[in-house]
Structure 1
Amino acid sequence: MTEIDSYLVWSNQKTMWWRPRNSGYTQYIEEAGRYTRAEAEEIVRKATVDGQLKHWRTDPVSGAKYWSFDEVLVAAPEAIEVPW
């Protein structure tokens, strides 16, 4: 199994990546901050609702209930090629 060196944090609330040093959000993965696992876990933990990693939400149209995760950590790719 390969050891993961860095992580990205995705915000389901903002539908964007966290920038480096917790300095806002970006829609571009190549501008996303790279964090250690401990740093990413801390961001996710602090961004939870009442300390819960997931919570129930209700779809405003259908009324269906579903689990929602506000922030999630993702293994960072080794290299990201910028298309421009």
Structure 2
Amino acid sequence: MIDILYFAWVRERIGLPKERVETQAATVADLVRELKAREERYDAAFADLTALRVAVDQELTDFSASLQGVREVAFFPPMTGG
């Protein structure tokens, strides 16, 4: 089981702040494909991966990151400073 956290507009599109999923995904990209296949709201949230950042177990990474042994994946838009 993996905990998935959604932030900002990703959370708004999916309608959940977090969920726990059972997955056979090997990478973050595989997980995204599984989620997109679930329902339209996930497909909308993950339509443009260039507009998203991902963290695996609270470490920034990319969509090719392995999910082996991972407990948490977080999706969020790029952060801006000011």
Higher RCO, 1 vs 2 (CA within 8 Å, ≥6 residues apart): 2
TM-score (norm 2): 0.29
TM-score under structure 1 length normalisation: 0.29
User: Rg larger in 1 or in 2?
Assistant: 1
Q: Specify which structure has the higher proportion of strand.
A: 1
